[in-house]
Amino acid sequence: MRRYYVDYFLIFLGSFLIVYIVLPIAVILVLQIFDFSMLLKALQDERVLKALKNTLITSTATMLISLIFGVPLGYVLARKDFRGKSIIQGIVDVPIVIPHSVVGIMLLITFSSAIVDNYIGIIMAMLFVSASFTINSARDGFLAIDENLEHVARTLGASKLRTFFTISLPLALPSILSGAIMTFARAMSEVGSILIVAYYPKTAQILVMEYFENYGLRASRPIAVLLILISLTIFITMRWIVGRRRYA
Mean pLDDT over all residues of the chain?
Answer: 86
pLDDT per residue over 37-70, tens digit each? 888 888 888 898 999 999 999 999 999 999 999 9
pLDDT per residue over 122-177, tens digit each? 999 999 999 999 999 999 999 988 888 878 877 877 778 888 888 888 888 888 98
Q: Whole-model pTM? A: 0.84
Cα dihedral sign, 225-226-229-234: negative
Residue 242 has pLDDT above 80, yes or no: no
207 close to 48: Cβ distance less than 8 angstroms: yes
Cis? peptide before 201, omega within 30° of 0: yes
pLDDT band at 246 (very low <50, low <70, confident <90, very high): low
pLDDT in the model for residue 2 = 59
Fold of 36-246: MetI-like fold (1.10.3720)
How many CA atoms, within 13 angstroms, populate the side-chain half-sphere of residue 213? Answer: 6
